[in-house]
Amino acid sequence: MNQIRMFRMIALAEGCSFLILLCIAMPMKYFMGMPEVVRVVGSIHGGLFVLYVGLLAVIHFRHRWSVMFSLYAFVASIIPFGTFVLDKQLREKEVAAN
């Protein structure tokens, strides 16, 4: 599996974990008194986020992505649904790299 495809898969997993954290775990914490759900989902999301940022840095230098695109990819990870919007550009970059 090439690096860009791996990055796409991590980006989608990170985006899903972010939505699960915001839309399921946080309401369960505040409306159902279940803070342990946020701990578990938050830990998974945090690990995926660190992996996302680390892989973004590696790919930025290896594939010589522009600073603006890499910044766009970083911002996409902190906005809900951002990584899903980013996926189209990543697919284009993946095809161009092959």
Domain count, the chain: 1
Write the CA distances from 90 to 7, 16, 41, 83, 85, integer angstroms. Answer: 8, 17, 26, 10, 9
Measure CA 13 to chain center. 6
pLDDT at 71 over 90: yes
Per-residue pLDDT of 19-56, as tens digits, reads: 999 999 999 999 999 999 999 999 999 999 999 999 99
Q: What is the distance between the alpha carbons of residues 39 and 87, in angstroms, rounded to a whole number? A: 28
Residue 55 pLDDT: 97
pLDDT for residue 81 is more than 70: yes
Residue 45 lies in domain: 3-97
Q: Considering the entire predicted model, what is its pTM?
A: 0.92
